[in-house]
Amino acid sequence: MTSEKNSSPKYPSDISDEEWEIVEKIFEELEPYTTGRPRSSDLREILNAIFYLNKTGCPWRYLPNDFPSYKLVNYYYNK
């Protein structure tokens, strides 16, 4: 579940590296990923997409293309 360092956020709503270090530990405790196929999307990017939607209020379908697909983001949001 490691992520590239996000030293320069793309959007003001993106979480910082320090915040991600805290949140990543919580995700590992809540959802240990031990079975099934490897995750193809970065949880940090999914979380950034959720924060972007919350901050801007844009519809799910208008999520910018540099985020994972809105359907995947919506799946994790509802999980």
3-class DSSP assignment, residue 57: coil
User: What string of pLDDT tens digits covers the 79 residues of the chain?
Assistant: 445 555 556 899 999 999 999 999 888 777 666 677 777 888 899 999 999 999 999 999 999 999 999 999 999 899 8
Instruction: Say if residues 15 and 51 touch (Cβ distance below 8 Å).
Output: yes
Q: Answer whether residue 47 is part of any domain.
A: yes
Residue 18's SS3 state is helix
Give how many domains the chain has, as a whole number. 1
CA 52 to chain centre: 10
Residue 13 covered by a domain: no
Find the domain containing 76 and state its range: 41-79
Does a structural domain hold residue 29?
A: no
14 within domain boundaries: no
DSSP class of 35: S
